[in-house]
Structure 1
Amino acid sequence: MSSNRIHDVVIVGAGIAGLGMGIRLARAGRDDFVILERADDVGGTWRDNVYPGVACDIPSHLYEYSFLPKADWARRFATGGELHEYLRAAARDEGLRPHLRLDTPLDGARWDADARCWRLETGSGGLAARALVLAAGRLSEPRIPVVPGLDTFVGNAFHSARWRAGSLAGLRVGVVGTGASAVQIVPEVAREAASVVVFQRTPAWVLPRGDRAYEAEEPRPTRAALSAEAEQLFAARIADSRPAAALEARAREHLHRQVADPGLRARLTPDYAIGCKRAVFSDDYLPALQLPHVTLEPTELAAVEPGAAVAASGARHAVDVLVFATGFETTRPPFARLVTGRGETLAQHWAHGMTSHASTVVSGFPNMFVLDGPNSALGHHSAFEVIEAQIDYVLGALEYIAAGLRPLEVTAAAEAAYTALIDELADRTVWKRGGCASWYLDEDSHRLTLLWPERAGLFRRVNGTFDPRPFEPAPCGLGPCDADPAEIGARVPV
């Protein structure tokens, strides 16, 4: 690669967001783009996570590009392998291979104000772009807690997203965590291992899953029907609402139906409102915890010894394998340290929590767009809904950049107004008022920085179409300029 040529667009990341952006660019006839990917294949989360039982918890026909539907999903909830193959086929069939630069990590990106472009350094050399699209995602950097003595462990220890276990037959396995990955891993590991101990710092609300294979000639649900059903679930994310109480009652009934022992039920009952942390879906996790060779340790992992894991309770558990199902670096994305705009890095700009305008653009970072970043995840719906709206926004913005006017840079006032809007919407939700700490909240400011605190349809209406007015100086020749940029998006109908 050469830094002498300035590409129209460089995309960082070849997961759902990056591939979707590339497909839409190609379909629009915009061929001068590059997709950087640090791994040797596309697929993002669904490439990295290959642990036993990995699957989506959103219905298959809703967890796909609306512009690239798949009629023959095998199950109601697609497995990780089928999702990875769907994304690989999308890249292949939509002609993205010539645009992909695999095994090419981003080492740094800096805005060149004189040349009005982004200068990028990668593991394969330098290149430049008029527009930079960051699509590295939120679930790409595993987080392993600091545990005293972990370096002395003589067995096999790894994060669930870096699965490297062979046969577990005859081995003693410790699983650290009780979130979405753990509830899929534990039943599968319990089928093979000699013993399993699950370290539970905080119990999770478990809802029934109802997964099954589709029959060959069975009519499939439509994306529209599934989307409408998912939108109804947002009402349960409003704190102290009737729908929230009904959802909690459903989870309690599931727990009572599957766990007879009142002592174990008590240890598995959260003390926070449902939805405050990510609810999990499983029909076999709670039964697996009651198998004779499975132990629920109701405290967190506190220390590791050469052949044992020590819980905060003081209990010692002999283990040969330690699996850390402990989540990802979400609120402080590592890629932010690599990107420098006008005078500061993105990490510095986000030192007190991620902020943006329209969940996609950031003040001080011209011609830069972040997909699946600040306030662009959903706690009740498919990630594809927001990602596709963001792609539409970026495509509109690229038309302005192509017109050759000044670089697009959102005003600080517009970003502050949007941040205030997010805070106002978030304050009434279970994510802020549910009585828990979660990866949805910034650890410093305690703001809700990961989720869009409203319905997916409202995200599309507010953020799915590019509006030039919040940018400075406003490109008045191409759009309306009769409003104060600070007021744009300050209020939305709820």
Structure 2
Amino acid sequence: MDTSASVIVIGAGFGGLAAAHHLRQAGITDITVLERADDVGGVWRENTYPGAACDVPSVLYSWSFARKHDWSHRYARQPEILDYIREHATSSGLRDLVRTGAEVTGAAWDDAARRWTVELAGGEQLSADVLVSAVGQLSRPSIPALSGLETFAGPAFHTATWDHDVSLAGKRVAVIGTGASAIQAVPAIVDEVAELKVFQRSAPYVVPKPDGAYSARQQERYERHPQLHDLTRSGVFHLSEQLNKTLDSDGRLADLLRAAWQLHLRRQVHDPELRARLVPDYPLGCKRLLFSNDWYPALTRSHVEVLTEAITTVEPKGIRTADGALHEVDVIVFGTGFAATEFLAPMQIRGRDGRLLSEAWEGGARAHLGITVPDFPSFFVLYGPNTNLGGSSIIGMLEAQSGYVAQAVTEIGRSGPIEVRPERAAAYDTEMQGRLGESVWSSCASWYRDPSGRITTNWPGTVREYQQRTARFDVADFRVSEKVAR
């Protein structure tokens, strides 16, 4: 009887390639990574808006098995991150496992065959013993359903689908939203546009970003002394773990971060009226904490206006707000984030007895360890429910999940399909929601929460805790089905 398992991985970003690496390290050879686009890279391939960069220190923003010592900046820019992913995928041979232009529309578990059937756009079907989703939480741009948007006479696009054919030079531009991408894009385009109107629903907390270029000497030192790089990486990791802890009752940096934000705002925005509009109305950490040295200065420019009135309609010439004013603009840019709580949508994933994953997740997505779901045998989710971070590098979480999945697939090859026990998954979810209910994330509405108010995205602990909990695959958490002889 064959003792190996075949695996299909959906997505070729940091998560999907990490999964392929760990599976290969575990001796699994039948691996296919399906990527809807024409290249690897995930969010770093898609997000090419001006100013796009990472808000995690670059020394921490690489796979542990492919550490990069020569980042050009302390916070890496999008093109360099994408180059890193592409170069490693090629040099390691992982790219050979990737099939590009393969968009998955759905997948279904065949209980008789004990396999997954995966359907691609165009109707082609593939099959495998194991299905791994690595599409992430931040892959589907969210554009608000604004009345009249279709009537707007000019270009309108999301930061994640930036239209580089549209010149902003001398244009009147509206940016809707003040999240992580907006605070990078606005300073990058402010000198190019004639007028800039920033529509803010709620102000973010923005603290200084300790950025800067690495000198050639510093890069050489890291290259020649990798142990120094490892020591620096370890130090940054432990500091980022403290940032994670600010979001629970044991937070140590919350007061310091709040003071840093207040001083940052006071020093960079002198107009008291504008400054008042930039004060958040929720506790620090409830929404994503942002890092920027040039966001506030950009908003103080004479041709920039921060608008806090609600948008009522979009008209051919611009945007009308609740006070009745029409703000005439030539281009609309949405910095409105992603449909993070929808996870695998719009793919239709059917588990045992044809049950839809979307139905199983009515009332909020949930998964044991953020990875496995009852009634969905031999199915694994990377960057799944309750695995996002308020601080630190998500790559640490993705690698922990990938190692866990590799162990699980080894067990599947040896014993047969596995399915997490409902009682184990329920107990884990009860723990997660209990801890999250005591966190700062429960104190306001944000993209961390689904429409019912349930926090479905974030992990309530440290990366180290998650790594420890996923270090060993425990078959006792699963039901094992008998293998089908082939």
TM range (shorter): over 0.9
**TM-aligned CA deviation for residue 464 of structure 1:** 2.9
Residue of structure 2 equivalent to 1:131: 130
Note if 1:437 corresponds to 2:448.
no
Structure 2 distance, partners of 1:427, 1:299, is 31
Note if 1:175 corresponds to 2:175.
yes
Structure 1 distance, partners of 2:460, 2:200, is 28
Residue of structure 2 equivalent to 1:162: 161
Structure 2 distance, partners of 1:459, 1:52, is 34
Is the 8 Å Cα contact of residues 157 and 333 (structure 2) preserved in structure 1? Answer: yes
Residue of structure 1 equivalent to 2:85: 87
**TM-aligned CA deviation for residue 474 of structure 1:** 8.9
Is the 8 Å Cα contact of residues 319 and 326 (structure 2) preserved in structure 1? Answer: yes
Residue of structure 2 equivalent to 1:21: 19
Structure 2 distance, partners of 1:181, 1:363, is 35
The one-letter amino acid paired with 2:209 is R
Q: How does 1:15-414 map to 2 (within 5 A)?
A: 15-123=13-121, 125-165=124-164, 166-218=166-218, 219=221, 222-238=232-248, 243-335=253-345, 337-343=347-353, 344-403=355-414, 405-414=415-424
Structure 2 distance, partners of 1:337, 1:11, is 14
**TM-aligned CA deviation for residue 300 of structure 1:** 3.5
Is the 8 Å Cα contact of residues 5 and 28 (structure 2) preserved in structure 1? Answer: no
> Looking at both structures, which has the greater relative contact order when contacts are Cα pairs under 8 Å and sequence separation is at least 6?
2
Q: Which moved more, 1:281-290 or 1:211-220?
A: 211-220
Identify if the C-alpha distance between structure 1 residues 105 and 337 changes in structure 2 by more than 3 Å, giving closer, same or farther: closer
Q: Flag structure 1 segments of 5+ consecutive residues without an equivalent.
A: 1-5, 476-494
Q: How does 1:422-433 map to 2 (within 5 A)?
A: 422-432=432-442
Structure 1 distance, partners of 2:94, 2:480, is 35
**TM-aligned CA deviation for residue 298 of structure 1:** 1.6
Any idea what SS the aligned residue of 2:210 has?
A: coil
Any idea what SS the aligned residue of 1:353 has?
A: coil
- 1:226-281 residue CA offsets vs partner (Å, 9 max, x unmatched): 11111111231125956323321221111111111111111100011111000111
Q: Flag structure 2 segments of 5+ consecutive residues without an equivalent.
A: 223-228
Is the 8 Å Cα contact of residues 135 and 344 (structure 2) preserved in structure 1? Answer: no
Is the 8 Å Cα contact of residues 176 and 301 (structure 1) preserved in structure 2? Answer: no
**TM-aligned CA deviation for residue 108 of structure 1:** 1.3
The one-letter amino acid paired with 1:33 is I
Is the 8 Å Cα contact of residues 359 and 463 (structure 1) preserved in structure 2? Answer: no
Any idea what SS the aligned residue of 1:472 has?
A: strand
Identify if the C-alpha distance between structure 1 residues 225 and 243 changes in structure 2 by more than 3 Å, giving closer, same or farther: closer
Normalised by the length of structure 2, the TM-score is 0.93
Structure 1 distance, partners of 2:461, 2:385, is 14
**TM-aligned CA deviation for residue 198 of structure 1:** 0.2
Structure 2 distance, partners of 1:111, 1:320, is 49
Is the 8 Å Cα contact of residues 318 and 327 (structure 2) preserved in structure 1? Answer: yes
Is the 8 Å Cα contact of residues 48 and 161 (structure 1) preserved in structure 2? Answer: yes
- 1:305-363 residue CA offsets vs partner (Å, 9 max, x unmatched): 11111123333211100000101111112436411001311111111111111111110
1:456 to 441, 455, 463: 463
The one-letter amino acid paired with 1:155 is G
Structure 1 distance, partners of 2:63, 2:154, is 41
Is the 8 Å Cα contact of residues 5 and 410 (structure 2) preserved in structure 1? Answer: no
Is the 8 Å Cα contact of residues 110 and 340 (structure 1) preserved in structure 2? Answer: yes
Structure 2 distance, partners of 1:84, 1:269, is 34
Q: Which moved more, 1:33-42 or 1:160-169?
A: 160-169
Structure 1 distance, partners of 2:41, 2:11, is 9
The one-letter amino acid paired with 1:467 is D
Is the 8 Å Cα contact of residues 336 and 347 (structure 1) preserved in structure 2? Answer: no
Normalised by the length of structure 1, the TM-score is 0.91
**TM-aligned CA deviation for residue 375 of structure 1:** 0.9
The one-letter amino acid paired with 2:285 is G
Is the 8 Å Cα contact of residues 468 and 474 (structure 1) preserved in structure 2? Answer: no
Structure 2 distance, partners of 1:172, 1:40, is 33
Q: Which moved more, 1:231-240 or 1:131-140?
A: 231-240
Structure 2 distance, partners of 1:215, 1:300, is 46
Is the 8 Å Cα contact of residues 12 and 41 (structure 2) preserved in structure 1? Answer: yes
Any idea what SS the aligned residue of 2:342 has?
A: coil
Structure 1 distance, partners of 2:409, 2:416, is 12
The one-letter amino acid paired with 2:387 is S
The one-letter amino acid paired with 1:50 is T
Is the 8 Å Cα contact of residues 238 and 244 (structure 1) preserved in structure 2? Answer: no
Q: RMSD between aligned alpha carbons?
A: 1.7
Is the 8 Å Cα contact of residues 26 and 410 (structure 2) preserved in structure 1? Answer: no
Structure 1 distance, partners of 2:29, 2:451, is 40
Q: Which moved more, 1:72-81 or 1:160-169?
A: 160-169
Is the 8 Å Cα contact of residues 337 and 345 (structure 1) preserved in structure 2? Answer: no
- 1:147-175 residue CA offsets vs partner (Å, 9 max, x unmatched): 11111101000111010043211111000
Is the 8 Å Cα contact of residues 47 and 162 (structure 2) preserved in structure 1? Answer: yes
Any idea what SS the aligned residue of 1:86 has?
A: helix
Is the 8 Å Cα contact of residues 258 and 286 (structure 1) preserved in structure 2? Answer: yes
Identify if the C-alpha distance between structure 1 residues 233 and 80 changes in structure 2 by more than 3 Å, giving closer, same or farther: same
Structure 2 distance, partners of 1:205, 1:284, is 14
Structure 2 distance, partners of 1:462, 1:98, is 32
**TM-aligned CA deviation for residue 61 of structure 1:** 1.3
The one-letter amino acid paired with 1:237 is L
Is the 8 Å Cα contact of residues 15 and 134 (structure 2) preserved in structure 1? Answer: yes
The one-letter amino acid paired with 1:126 is Q
